[in-house]
Amino acid sequence: MKRILLIIFAFFLSLTLTGCSLQDLMGKKQKSQSTSQNQQKQVIAVALNEQDPNKALVLRGIEDMAQKENMDVKVLSSGSEGQTSKGSSSSGSSSGSQSQGQSSSGSKQGSSSDLKGAKVLIYQGGNPEILQTVQSSNIPVVALNELPGGVKPAGIILPDPQEKGKLMAEPVLSKASEGQIVVMQGDPSDSSSQEMLASIKQALSKNSKLTVHAISSPSGSEAAAGQSLTDFLQKNSGKVPAIIAQNEKLAAQAAEVLKSQQLEKKVLLIGGQANLQSLQRMSTGIQAADIDTSPYIQGVNAFQWAQKILNKSALDINESVTGDQGEVPAKIIPVKSVTPENAAVVQKSYAKAAETAAKAETQAKKDQGTSGSNDPKDQGSQDQGQSKGQDQGSSSGQSGSTGANIPQGAQKVTEKVQTIITREYLDSQGKVLGTEKSTSEQNRTIPPEMLKKEMQQQSQQGQQSKQGQQDQTDNQNKKS
């Protein structure tokens, strides 16, 4: 008994000498768990421009990165809802867009309830009240595409405006010898818009017979810009060989004006923001060229800068933009020209990415709608429906395989071969920053002699099958 008391006394004496206590020992694990949970609760809020035709691709880039880094993204819609996306791989969604929560339908975007828990905001557009909220809450902002008014962002991600202007001018220089080139500019007070216009003018100055007429249009005044274009074309009939439009809204307005005046085949239309609609116009010959601004990569870079701000790390600055707020650090995204030669590949890449983003959004809404139901019958019905759909898909795929019967009277057979390309963007250490998938299709015709041979083989197989069935019937008759 004395030995036990001595051991207990020695134990407490050692704790006293080292400054530890039982409470400290027991609390270490709890403190570690609490710290880990706090790290997982870091939230990046995102407010995107609902009018951006490539909004889904930008968000996809952000959410893909959030999933890799096990972080949360809270998407603030332009309406009344704020939606949180879990960015961890355990979310079960490839895009990390599983809905985790929603704000009350009566709140406005930018309210303190929507931004609760957010440590940084990626801002492209939406309710401007959100900027007042982040400013009063000292939440840093990473801007997308253009500088927001009323707040100085910590940085901005935007496509290269100078290279964009240069690339938009190239088709004009190669196809127009003289005349007035109309540039439908966006907000004239935006510094990137000013740089783009200056770059266009500098490039077109190589041909002294070309002059530039700019039509500026702050956001929301695109219809007025369309009317100005109509008036200018009527006053200068036959003197306008090309129109350059800074973004999709302006390009769509220009396309409508050209069609209304039956000039779509006579006047070149050059866009500055490739998207599914503009690429479709290119495929029909209404639009001559466009600019791929890499919206997915914009989203990836916006997330990376937001994460650096959260971690208090230095930003990888390669440029700066000056506005009313002063000089702002900028990350310039390279752009590339889209021409009829590569338009099909770019269009398939955009379509595939947009389709994937739409599926992820639909799945998130389904998960949110069924998360409140605990009825086993509902779950069982759901599982049966999914299983049935998979079975149908499997049987459909088998019936469409290369072993299908050749219909009688077939004189020609064409095949469509689809190739899927997965592109990965890596940093200098080999870490995957983002992925991008594109598909391409190749049409080919089966030679007549091969078709004839396959039909003969099919006929022989049919005769052998009939003969086998007949032999089996004869054997059964003999036994009976």
The region of weakest confidence among 151-155, 183-187, 470-474 is 470-474
Collect all residues with Cβ–Cβ distance below 8 Å to 253 and sequence separation of at least 6. Answer: 184, 222, 223, 225, 226, 229, 245
Instruction: Give me 299's structure tokens.
Output: 């989203």
> What is the pLDDT averaged over residues 388-411?
47
Angle between helices 248-260 and 222-235 (to 10 degrees): 40
Whether pLDDT at 168 is above 80: yes
Of 49, 192, 66, the residue nearest 128 (C-alpha): 49
Kindly tell me the burial class for residue 445, based on how many C-beta atoms sit within 10 Å of its own C-beta (0-12, 13-18, 19 or more): exposed
Instruction: Give me 169's structure tokens.
Output: 């001018």
How many other C-beta atoms are found inside a 10 Å radius of the C-beta of residue 296? 24
Whether residue 81 contacts residue 101, with contact meaning beta carbons closer than 8 Å, is answered with no
Collect all residues with Cβ–Cβ distance below 8 Å to 44 and sequence separation of at least 6. Answer: 62, 66, 71, 72, 73, 74, 118, 119, 120, 121, 122, 303, 306, 307, 310
Instruction: Give me 298's structure tokens.
Output: 């914009």
Residue 196's alpha-carbon distances to 173, 191, 193, 247, in angstroms, are: 16, 9, 5, 11
Q: How far apart are CA 13 and CA 17, in angstroms?
A: 6
Of 78, 82, 87, 83, the residue nearest 99 (C-alpha): 83
Instruction: Give me 149's structure tokens.
Output: 């008014």
Kindly tell me the burial class for residue 279, based on how many C-beta atoms sit within 10 Å of its own C-beta (0-12, 13-18, 19 or more): buried
Whether residue 73 contacts residue 83, with contact meaning beta carbons closer than 8 Å, is answered with no
Q: Are strands 43-47 and 118-123 parallel, antiparallel or unpaired?
A: parallel
pLDDT band of residue 440 (cuts 50, 70, 90) is: low
How far is Cα of residue 74 from the mean position of the Cα atoms in its chain?
A: 16
pLDDT band of residue 432 (cuts 50, 70, 90) is: confident
Alpha helices (H) in 93-247, listed in sequence order: 129-136, 161-175, 191-204, 222-235
State the chain's mean pLDDT as an integer: 76
Tell me the helices (H) and strands (E) count for the chain, helix number first.
Answer: 13, 17
Q: DSSP label at 289?
A: B
The region of weakest confidence among 33-37, 98-102, 259-263 is 98-102
pLDDT higher at 393 or 121: 121
Whether residue 241 contacts residue 173, with contact meaning beta carbons closer than 8 Å, is answered with no
> What is the pLDDT averaged over residues 224-235?
94
- Which long-range CB contacts under 8 A does 96-101 form with residues at least 24 apart? 96/63, 96/64, 96/66, 96/67, 97/63, 97/360, 97/361, 97/363, 97/364, 98/364, 98/367, 99/364, 99/365, 99/367, 99/368, 99/371, 100/72
Q: How far apart are CA 256 and CA 259, in angstroms?
A: 5
pLDDT of the residue at 100: 37
pLDDT of the residue at 401: 36
Whether residue 237 contacts residue 207, with contact meaning beta carbons closer than 8 Å, is answered with no
Of 338, 321, 356, the residue nearest 437 (C-alpha): 356
Instruction: Give me 471's structure tokens.
Output: 């032999």
Whether pLDDT at 393 is above 70: no
Instruction: Give me 129's structure tokens.
Output: 């009240």
pLDDT band of residue 98 (cuts 50, 70, 90) is: very low
Helix (H, G, I), strand (E, B) or coil at 115: coil
Alpha helices (H) in 91-190, listed in sequence order: 129-136, 161-175
Collect all residues with Cβ–Cβ distance below 8 Å to 428 and sequence separation of at least 6. Answer: none
The structure tokens 């997982």 sit at: 40
pLDDT band of residue 54 (cuts 50, 70, 90) is: very high
> What is the pLDDT averaged over residues 276-280?
93
Instruction: Please name the helix (run of DSSP H) or strand (run of DSSP E) that holds residue 17, with its range, or none.
Output: helix 2-18
Q: How far apart are CA 60 and CA 71, in angstroms?
A: 14
Instruction: Give me 437's structure tokens.
Output: 């998938």
Prediction pTM value: 0.65
Instruction: Give me 155's structure tokens.
Output: 């940085």
CA dihedral over 104, 107, 113, 114, signed as positive or negative: positive
